[in-house]
Amino acid sequence: MAPSAMSSGSEFSEEFGGGKDWSASLSEARPVPYWLEDPGKPRPEAALTGPATCDLLVVGGGYSGLWTALIAKERDPGRDVVLLEAREVGWAASGRNGGFCAASLTHGLANGLARWPREIRVLQELGMRNLDEIEAAVARYGIDCDFERTGEIDVATEPYQARELRDWYTEIDRRGLAEDVEFLDADAVREQVASPTFQAGLYDRRGVAMLHPAKLAWGLKRACLRLGVRVHEHTPALTLKPYGAGMAVSTPYGRIRARQVALGTNIFPSLVRRVRSYTVPVYDYALMTEPLTAEQLASVGWKNRQGLGDSANQFHYFRLSADNRILWGGYDAIYPYGGRVRAEYDDRPETYAKLAGHFFTCFPQLEGVRFTHAWGGAIDTCSRFSAFFGAAHQGKVAYAAGYTGLGVGATRFGAEVMLDLLAGERTERTSLEMVRKKPLPFPPEPFAWTGIALTKWSLARADAREGRRNLWLRTMDRLGLGFDS
């Protein structure tokens, strides 16, 4: 999903929509991801049965695993690659997210600059190259995923946010990091997208693409099959153990031996147990409207079809689909006690009601529009809010996780890193501090839940107090654990 968020400033307050009841707009909303209902969904591949062997086993059928399998075959067409997916390709985060495919590898420039200032230019260049390569792969394999290199606008909905956006633009421009980024005042941003709440914006013209996330996953699956990857769905990987010179993975109906293993399981429990404490699930929610009429679309503008996100600590993200629906997500970031991943957490009507109110606050001219879909899903969040990487079992196993909502693009980079690690190569990627070092792990319960709850409360309080961060947030900032949009 896109980064989870909650905006608590006056524009999007708890008294959402000026206190008006917007529940009627949700009366026909189906509690399923809009993207996964597409009629182009491919049939699942057969489950693995009996014993099997391969050179490279990829565990996980989301973007992380799909890119890993595809690039492995591109690097070495003769490599025997198998991909296992516990359910169906793209059913989890890869089919539920907002479809923002960003160049950033660091969960935004601000997070990257705060954590890796000496590497930020290289990280920016690698990220833009990664996005270019995604665009090229979509064209090369004929993946019909509504890919549009539209860019994205970060919008301010409060005067203090407008000041902060202008100051941030001045800072990155001074550092030479503002290429293809433009500051928009209130008139300029409303000329792009018409909302009375918008007071300023930062327009990144090249660094983000919009796409249909499930179609990307299905297209990558087809590309893998075309190159000879053996894909088995409805095949959970249960255990991972050394076996001779390689590794063995057990499944419900069989076992597979592999020389090397790449783990792209993200929020689901890693087969390398020591990695599990580095991520927690945070549930994010989204709505999808019915298609806008020509008159409704004209009232909003949005001729350039950019992705948008507002600038509070806890923010919304929103974009147009290919058939001119509006996806509106974010606000509530829900951490379940104990870090459990369960299907019942994918549906949260109280959050849908908040989101509907916030939507009509942003776009009052769209009163009467109805929502057709409402859904949620888990994000694999880590304490530095961008992916981490590593190897295990004497270099025979590699993993990448912790994308924290910006994995649509960054997972391709993570796939390259995992394959570099398995090859034992020192590359430009594996030499990065970002790749060599890990985030701090989360503490056990009840400390994890207490810390996350206190952080969420503090972020809401900061949004209500013109961004002023309390002692807890300032302490988290100093420890490198500070949340920031």
Q: What is the pLDDT of residues 4-24, one digit of tens each?
A: 333 334 455 544 455 688 889
Q: Which residue has the higher pLDDT, 485 or 386?
A: 386
Q: What distance in Å separates the CA atoms of residue 269 and residue 118, rounded to the nearest whole number?
A: 33
Q: Looking at residue 425, what is its pLDDT?
A: 87
The dihedral of CA 402, 483, 100, 285: what is its sign? Answer: positive
**Residue 200 pairs with which residues in a beta bridge?**
156, 185
Q: What distance in Å separates the CA atoms of residue 282 and residue 309, rounded to the nearest whole number?
A: 19
Q: What distance in Å separates the CA atoms of residue 446 and residue 451, rounded to the nearest whole number?
A: 9
The pLDDT tens digits for 279-329 are 999 999 999 999 999 999 999 999 999 999 998 877 899 999 999 999 999
Q: Looking at residue 349, what is its pLDDT?
A: 96
pTM: 0.94
- Region 112-140: mean pLDDT is 97
The pLDDT tens digits for 182-222 are 999 999 999 999 999 999 999 999 999 999 999 999 999 99
Would you say 34 and 376 are in contact if contact means Cβ atoms under 8 Å apart?
no
Would you say 100 and 408 are in contact if contact means Cβ atoms under 8 Å apart?
yes
Would you say 9 and 312 are in contact if contact means Cβ atoms under 8 Å apart?
yes
Q: Looking at residue 11, what is its pLDDT?
A: 54
Q: Looking at residue 456, what is its pLDDT?
A: 79
What are the start-end ranges of the E strands in 16-128? 50-59, 81-84, 100-102
Domains of the chain: 1-30+183-194+281-381+445-485 (3.30.9), 48-151+206-279+384-442 (3.50.50.60)
Q: What distance in Å separates the CA atoms of residue 290 and residue 351, rounded to the nearest whole number?
A: 19
The Cα-based distances of 411 to 11, 315, 369, 389, 417 in angstroms read: 34, 23, 35, 11, 10
Q: Which residues contact 447 (CB under 8 A, 6 or more apart)?
A: none
Q: Which residues contact 445 (CB under 8 A, 6 or more apart)?
A: 337, 338, 339
Q: What distance in Å separates the CA atoms of residue 58 and residue 284, rounded to the nearest whole number?
A: 26
> Given 3-state DSSP classes, what are the helix, strand and coil percentages for the chain, each rounded to the nearest 5?
35, 20, 40
Q: What distance in Å separates the CA atoms of residue 154 and residue 481, rounded to the nearest whole number?
A: 22
Produce one character per residue of 328-351: b if its CB has 16 or more CB atoms within 10 Å, e if not. Answer: bbbbbbbbbeebebeeebbebeeb
**Residue 38 pairs with which residues in a beta bridge?**
none
Q: Of 59, 436, 28, 439, which Cα lies nearest the Cα of 271? A: 59
- Locate tokens 């995992």: which residue? 418
Q: What distance in Å separates the CA atoms of residue 184 and residue 201, rounded to the nearest whole number?
A: 5
Q: How crowded is residue 450: how many other Cβ atoms within 10 Å of its Cβ?
A: 12
Q: In a 3-state reduction of DSSP, which class is residue 369?
A: coil
Q: In a 3-state reduction of DSSP, which class is residue 126?
A: helix
- Region 429-434: mean pLDDT is 98
The pLDDT tens digits for 57-116 are 999 999 999 999 999 999 999 999 999 999 999 999 999 999 999 999 999 999 999 999
Q: What distance in Å separates the CA atoms of residue 476 and residue 388, rounded to the nearest whole number?
A: 19
Q: Looking at residue 312, what is its pLDDT?
A: 81
Q: What distance in Å separates the CA atoms of residue 152 and residue 477, rounded to the nearest whole number?
A: 26
The pLDDT tens digits for 438-485 are 999 999 999 888 888 888 778 778 777 878 888 877 877 777 765 543
Would you say 424 and 415 are in contact if contact means Cβ atoms under 8 Å apart?
no
∠ CA 192-198-203, rounded to 5°: 50
Mean of pLDDT over the chain: 93
Please report, as a single letter, which amino acid is at residue 473. L
- Region 378-384: mean pLDDT is 95
